[in-house]
Amino acid sequence: MNEYRWDDLSVGLKHSFDATFTSEMVADFARLSGDINPLHVDADYAVAAGFPSPVIFGMMSSSLYSQLVGVYIPGKYALLQGMDINFHHPTFVGDTLTCTGEIIFMGGALRQMEIKASIRNQHGKLISKALIRAGMHD
């Protein structure tokens, strides 16, 4: 976990990391979130809807944005304030997702920043992009 302080950060600072979701993780997310939509939990339903397998929850893949902020930039002293997320392509169990973020704005008396972020799969397809607003509590 990074422990950046405000003075350590700068516009242009980037970080990327990879993640892969398992079927057990998807089942756990369904249980924890209460979202039991069959597109996510029923293989026969997902195939009948035109997908190769159940679609990973959008909010599950977007949890990588929380990890980006809380672990990498800025890390330990982060205060996640908001996200605007646009979804572009579904993702499936076993996909390798790369989450990338870059600080594009820093300022204000409250030490706020904006991070432009995206998630792509192992084929380079854009899964989602986000504008993340965060602050610091150190």
Number of domains in the chain: 1
In a domain, 1, yes or no: no
Alpha carbon separation from 36 to 10, 92, 127 (Å, rounded): 41, 16, 21
The beta strand positions in the chain, using DSSP E, are: 14-20, 78-87, 96-107, 112-120, 126-136
In a domain, 58, yes or no: yes
Confidence of residue 108 (pLDDT cuts 50, 70, 90): confident
Over residues 38-77, the pLDDT tens digits come to 999 999 999 999 999 999 999 999 999 999 999 999 999 9
In a domain, 46, yes or no: yes
Domain span at 63:
6-136
pTM: predicted TM-score of the whole model, two decimal places? 0.93
In a domain, 39, yes or no: yes
pLDDT exceeds cutoff 80 at 17: yes
In a domain, 31, yes or no: yes
- The CATH number covering residue 41 comes to 3.10.129.10
